[in-house]
């Protein structure tokens, strides 16, 4: 079992930045690939970014490529999502998730999920 807790969300103006954190506890964090997803009101949950267990491979949604950066610190059992040049359409609840397979984009591939953190970008 892996427990995930996100933090760092909030209200920011368009063009601003936020850094989300996801702290993990439970089974060996470094054994899991980690992903970030988001869900806006009335929309389905969508993939944002993912990182391999060792951090050597990352993957991004086209909509965030070049603006968001995913990273992890296995010594701290934490994965991060640095979000720059935020846009109003980035407004959503952001979730981190863990899976034992790899850098996956499908939510169904992830075994463990956090409770989410709200990000609101004002225009």
Tell me the three-class secondary structure of 12-59, residue by residue: EECCCCEEEEEEEEECCHHHCEEEEEEECCCCCCEEEEEECCCCCCEE
Q: What is the pLDDT of residue 59?
A: 97
Query: What pLDDT does residue 26 have?
Result: 76
Find out whether 101 and 31 touch, Cβ atoms under 8 Å.
no
Cα distance between residue 38 and residue 99, in whole Å? 16
**Which pLDDT does position 6 carry in this prediction?**
98
pLDDT by 10s per residue, the chain, length 123: 899 999 999 999 999 999 999 999 976 888 899 999 999 999 999 999 999 999 999 999 999 999 999 999 999 999 999 999 999 999 999 999 999 889 999 999 999 999 999 999 999
Q: What is the reported pLDDT for 30?
A: 84
């Amino acid at each position: 079992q892996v427990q995930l807790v996100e933090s760092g969300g909030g209200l920011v103006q368009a063009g601003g930045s936020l850094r989300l954190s996801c702290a993990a506890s439970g089974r060996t964090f470094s054994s899991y690939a980690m992903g970030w997803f988001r869900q806006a009101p009335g929309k389905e949950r969508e993939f944002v970014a993912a990182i391999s267990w060792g951090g050597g491979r990352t993957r991004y949604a086209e909509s965030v490529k070049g603006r968001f950066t995913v990273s992890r610190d296995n010594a701290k059992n934490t994965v991060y999502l640095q979000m720059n040049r935020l846009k109003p359409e980035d407004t959503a609840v952001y979730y981190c998730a863990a899976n034992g397979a790899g850098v996956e984009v499908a939510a169904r591939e992830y075994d463990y999920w956090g409770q989410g953190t709200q990000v609101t970008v004002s225009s």
